[in-house]
Chain A
Amino acid sequence: MINGPNIRTEPMTVNIGPQHPSTHGVFRLRVTFDGEEILQVEPIFGYLHRGTEKLAEERNYTQVVTLTDRLDYVSSMINNQAYCLAVEKLLGVEAPMRGKYLRTLAAELQRIAAHLMGIGFILQDLGTLGTPLMYCFRSRERILDLFEMLCGARITVSYMRPGGVFFDAPPDFWPALEQFLRDFDEEYKELGQLILENEIVMVRTRGVSYLPLEAAINGSVSGPVLRASGLGWDWRKVEPYDAYDLVEFDVPVPPYNPAGGDNYDRFWVRVQEIRQSVRIIRQCAAQIEPGPVRAAVPLVLRPEPGAEAYGRVEASKGELAFYLVSDGGISPYRCKIRSPSLLNLTVTEHLLVGWKLADMIVTLGSVDINMGEVDR
């Protein structure tokens, strides 16, 4: 700050959001600027609070699936999966093999869709007019079409059920999937040409907003943001669920940097994870065998009184977990949601203070929060 006999400057406080084009929902940051530089930042949220946890206590176990769709609404399949795993643990049942494969396949398709949106919005925040975003959306639309074939819905899918999935895939799903994977290789290459080696993307994201591994672990950060800091921690590998122990895939981790992961690393991890998801989907499609898709569970589920379970998955944004407690009734006594977006926000101050306004927007994009999940 410049201060002298003839000039006096003072910091300026600006509310970024809740209505702002790049806060990814109704997120608000109260930021104090010195010119363009950030001195202080305070995240404020709760504008999208819908009481999902309380609502879950009023519905039976199967109905709660529809609530999970609306948490992180760009990765509904993975939310379904986390909740169903928790209920299965509560009941002590396991999904049949075909159900497991279908769930893995759907979850990975959803991960591609969610990462495509994440990448697209980082580039949107970088100031492209929307061309890369539309390229990402083009592929995402194809995935949503596949979901429509699976369950009739595109966003709020509610495809999975405790004990498996609701429907088997229709016969024409498999050729459509094959076609999509073939086309997606081309589209992914095209997207890579457009964005990955763009020098402006490089200079805007390299070396900006470092997140050291220690700070990430202390802040309970998970998912791509944690992996970008140099730790290959992925629940699909660490504690495999569904069919993840039957398929081969890598966990992309950028070269370890003591300063931490920067915006480009977070961006890069997502781009690489899309490739791994395609690998998983191909293996699932090759390995899947005919059989039942849902375990024999009663229509109305009544777990043992006092039973509790913690079901967790590696969602597109990090560790998503449901903690369920049963009192023997038809609905959970308590349903606690550990949402990755909320916990990834714990490092906001670490990421933003000292950087510029333009970097702040990109950093928020690289953390890839979803307000439906933050506020629940």
Chain B
Amino acid sequence: MNCVLGPDNILYDTVLFREVYNFVGQVLPCWLSWFVAGFVIIFLLVNAVLLGAAAFSWMERRLIGKFQNRLGPNRWGPFGLFQPIADMVKLLFKEDLTPGTADKLVFLAVPVAMVAPVMLMLAVVPFAKDTALANLNVGVLYILAVTSVTSIAIFMAGWSSNNRFALFGAARGVAVLISYEVPVVVSLLGVVMLAGSMSLADVVSAQTLPFIIVQPMAFFVFVAGTAAELNRTPFDMAEAESELIAGYHTEYSGIKFAMIQAAEFGGVMAASGVIVTLFLGGWEGPAAHWLGWLWFLLKTMAVAVGFIWVRATFPRLRIDQLLALAWKFLLPVSLINLLATALEIYFLRDASGVLTRGDLGIMTGINLALMAGCVFLFGSLVREKVRPVAPGLPPGVTPVILPARESPARDLPAGETD
């Protein structure tokens, strides 16, 4: 049997696959080893997403409870840790309704189309050194492509439900996703230029200084765009609970709803992982060789908590304001960032095209100054529309009190009674 994956194979760089294949290849036939190794990867992926979603749903409910002076789930397990299991069991046993007028096939396909991109997204994220499930050399591009699938799923849901609120949500969701795709892509170009590679593992190893400080504007644009693509407040247009009931998934119930919800929660975890990889140094940290997974997990949790915090605090923007933010603020800022980064790299790199830590430090200074300038510039454009609130009555305004009026006696024409 002795199956060994050769270096010419496309999956050779995927260390986990290679190791599993070589290990089981000692006893199994080669074609079966392929399946076993593939199955191991899929098993890990599915469970990473589902466990991530479960952990995130517990964390969100618990933390939002704290934010709102409530307890949050605390009944089952220590600190209510098993609450996601209870949720899942409840949703599994609920009646799975399909509206009579729905487009059944499309309606059924939506939960799958929602969950799949999340799993695919996690496949290229390196959890620690050499542990990406698939070490693609076009990882960044792949992530951008895969996350766009969500917009199709949202529109499928809105269209097939035959519900006007769902249609509203779907139309909004697609408008938001298409608009925010542009600044997100442009902002990532700076990161790709700095790393000189689209592979996520290379992006991590290029971060001798975390890119969050080298590319602060790109970080801001990417986080805002990610929040919009994940339907998180203040950009949760497609769901907009107070306006559209539940937006595009209004008609979903039971296990289908559970899957959509898992995709959303898992999506936040996956997106946090991508943010950590691209901007926060991924698995880098003290003793990264042994504890890389821990640093990755902690950083991911921190980013996810940030998302929760924003959700617990901010109101929602209106759809036109949201699109204006994307086209009038985020896109110019990301273009400025792209131009600045390109010039900086052109002038700072040495003959072999390598950027040292010192170079990155210089770039950090320039980019931070540039960001302050951009915030000031765009802020002064926006601020004039906003009136500050003085405590008490505004100066110069006295309460207007009209004097009490005597109601005049009504003169009725002669001969008529009231």
Contact = CB atoms under 8 A, between A and B. Distances in A.
Interface of A: 12, 14, 20-22, 36, 123-131, 134-135, 138, 192, 194, 196-204, 206-207, 230-234, 237-239, 250-256, 264, 268, 272, 275, 356-359, 361
Contacts of B402: 231-233, 238
B386 A253 contact: no
A103 to B, nearest CB: 21
20 contacts: A12-B164, A36-B319, A127-B242, A127-B314, A127-B315, A128-B233, A128-B315, A129-B312, A131-B68, A198-B314, A200-B316, A201-B315, A203-B321, A206-B385, A206-B387, A207-B385, A237-B401, A250-B399, A252-B393, A357-B243
Q: How large is the interface on B (under 10, 10 to 19, 20 to 34, 35 or more residues)?
A: 35 or more
B243 A358 contact: yes
A232 B320 contact: no
Given A127-B240, A238-B402, A357-B168, A138 B317 contact: no
B317 A250 contact: no
B69 A134 contact: yes
Contacts of A128: 233, 313-316
A200 B236 CA distance: 14
Contacts of A20: 245
A126 B319 contact: no
Interface of B: 64, 67-70, 164-165, 168, 233-234, 236, 240-243, 245, 311-321, 385-389, 391-394, 397, 399-402, 404
B320 to A, nearest CB: 7
A127 B234 contact: yes
A22 B386 contact: no
A36 to B, nearest CB: 6
6 smallest CB-CB distances across A and B, nearest first, come from A127-B316, A126-B315, A232-B400, A134-B68, A22-B242, A251-B399
A200 B313 CA distance: 11
A232 B400 CA distance: 5
B69 A125 contact: no
Given A131-B67, A204-B317, A268 B389 contact: yes
Contacts of B236: 127
Given A124-B242, A358-B240, A239 B315 contact: no
Contacts, number: 128
B316 A358 contact: yes
A130 B66 CA distance: 12
A13 B392 CA distance: 43
B318 A196 contact: no
Contact of A231 (B317, B389, B394, B400): B400
Contacts of B394: 254-255
A14 B164 contact: yes
Contact of B165 (A14, A202, A204): A14
B306 to A, nearest CB: 15
Contacts of A201: 315
A135 B240 contact: no
Contacts of B385: 202-203, 206-207
Contacts of B318: 204, 356, 358-359
